[in-house]
Structure 1
Amino acid sequence: MSDPMTLRARVQAPVKEVRNALTDPAAMRIWLAEHAEAGPDGSFAFWGRHTPEGDAPHQRLLHADDRTVRFAWTLGGVETTTEFGLEEEGSDATIVTITQSHYDHQEALANTGIRGVLQTYWCLALANLAEHLEGRELTPKIDFTTRDMSAGVVIDAAPEAVFDSLVDSEKVTRWFGFPIAIEPYVGGRYAMGGFDNPQPAKILELEPGRRLSVDWGSTGVGTWELEGSGGRTRLTLVQSGFEGERPPYGAWGGILAGLSELRRFHEIPDWRPIWVE
């Protein structure tokens, strides 16, 4: 078993509100899962199409107090452990830490097992927890029942500004939270980690302010389509084609989590990432 995976995010809400959202079934059905249940009898479960192996509940509550929720979650035939920890940051913000056992980064890169999706799954879930508690529109969740990905959001910024933040290396690196180097022309490189990446993605289409299409290799082709109205942008993301039998749900989760931060980048004054080092 590898070391536990840890994610930390800042949510602009008091600890008490965040703690309630972690175990209130009505709230869980908004930010986390299609179906959820939790109660004073110790029941705690979530399932549905937005949950890995979500055909039925596979969780078991281990511990809960005012600052911690810990549960067992069986995935791929292995019982993993997930823990939420809450830390007050002033009177109106909370640092949420997720610790997840049985996550293997190499398994995630190779897309060889369901537990490989856990890092990006929890990134997107944390982003939507923040959106929910801050009264913002949620980012579309992964659908683990489909072999295609399509998601649409409205961004409170003009198409030219949104498009620029998809092809400008410095801006993409800022909102995505990982170094990305881009050659903004058809045939140019779109390189995760920088141009030293020996296998960069390639730009297939580029229409300024309207369309960007990138070939990501084994995980397929991603296309961003932009349509403007009244100073706002309808951004539609479609991910099509992939190698192998298993859809790249982990990669899709990473793209959607990034989409959440892209919206915040354009819409929140004095923006800073929700992620805490």
Structure 2
Amino acid sequence: MADYATSIQIDAPPTVVFAHLVVPARMVAWMGHRAILDAVPGGEFCVDIGGSQVRGQYLEVEPDRRVVVSWGMAGSEDLPPSASRVEFVLTPVAGGTRVDLSHTGLPEARAAGHADGWAHFLTRLSMRAAGDDPGPDTWSS
């Protein structure tokens, strides 16, 4: 199994960044085309991204501080729904929020693709949370 971790600074307060992780309309403004989100432990986490159906659950939700979800793909044998774990830690910093992301439990064959995807989507999250429009998402899995 592989793990991925990265950080990004976003020019928006933690409350705004947090909303982009738990509110469906805000989620699809930076990632995916459709989202069903129930941001409570055990609640549904479903995001359709460029032809992939990400399926999982919210595992931990600490408003404005931390979100942990299980993550997998509907119909996948090597990364089925809820097979891996994604954690977002939000830390207030001068001028905004540092987001530390870790994605653990990825199959080795999917690690590079997810690293590319997170680089793409975190850039879009940074733009959207800061009030800019990143435009239509062109990600394709």
TM-score normalised according to structure 1 size: 0.41
Greater length-normalized contact order (CA 8 Å, ≥ 6 residues apart)? 2
Give unpaired runs (5+ residues) of structure 1: 1-146
1:249 match: secondary structure: helix
**Structure 2 equivalent of residue 249 of structure 1:** 112
Over 3 Å counting, the alpha-carbon distance change for 1:216 and 1:264 in structure 2 is same
Larger strand fraction of residues: 2
Over 3 Å counting, the alpha-carbon distance change for 1:163 and 1:198 in structure 2 is closer
Over 3 Å counting, the alpha-carbon distance change for 1:233 and 1:241 in structure 2 is same
C-alpha deviation, 1:177, in angstroms: 4.2
For 2:32 and 2:86, how far apart are their aligned partners in 1?
19
C-alpha deviation, 1:251, in angstroms: 2.8
For 1:171 and 1:235, how far apart are their aligned partners in 2?
16
**Structure 1 equivalent of residue 62 of structure 2:** 207
**Structure 2 equivalent of residue 82 of structure 1:** none
C-alpha deviation, 1:192, in angstroms: 1.8
Check whether the contact 2:15–2:63 (CA below 8 A) recurs between aligned residues. yes
**Structure 2 equivalent of residue 273 of structure 1:** 135
C-alpha deviation, 1:228, in angstroms: 0.4
**Structure 2 equivalent of residue 33 of structure 1:** none
The number of equivalent residue pairs is: 127
TM-score normalised according to structure 2 size: 0.77
Give unpaired runs (5+ residues) of structure 2: 73-78
Check whether the contact 1:181–1:193 (CA below 8 A) recurs between aligned residues. no
**Structure 2 equivalent of residue 261 of structure 1:** 124
For 1:246 and 1:229, how far apart are their aligned partners in 2?
35
For 2:53 and 2:99, how far apart are their aligned partners in 1?
30
C-alpha deviation, 1:253, in angstroms: 2.0
For 1:202 and 1:158, how far apart are their aligned partners in 2?
25
Over 3 Å counting, the alpha-carbon distance change for 1:268 and 1:171 in structure 2 is closer
- Larger CA Rg, structure 1 vs 2: 1
Give yes or no for the alignment of 1:152 onto 2:7. Answer: yes
Q: CA RMSD in A?
A: 2.7
**Structure 2 equivalent of residue 175 of structure 1:** 30
Identical residues among aligned pairs (%): 26
For 1:166 and 1:181, how far apart are their aligned partners in 2?
11
1:205-225 deviation digits (Å, cap 9, x = unpaired): 110011111111326211000
For 2:68 and 2:26, how far apart are their aligned partners in 1?
18
Check whether the contact 1:160–1:209 (CA below 8 A) recurs between aligned residues. yes
Larger helix fraction of residues: 1
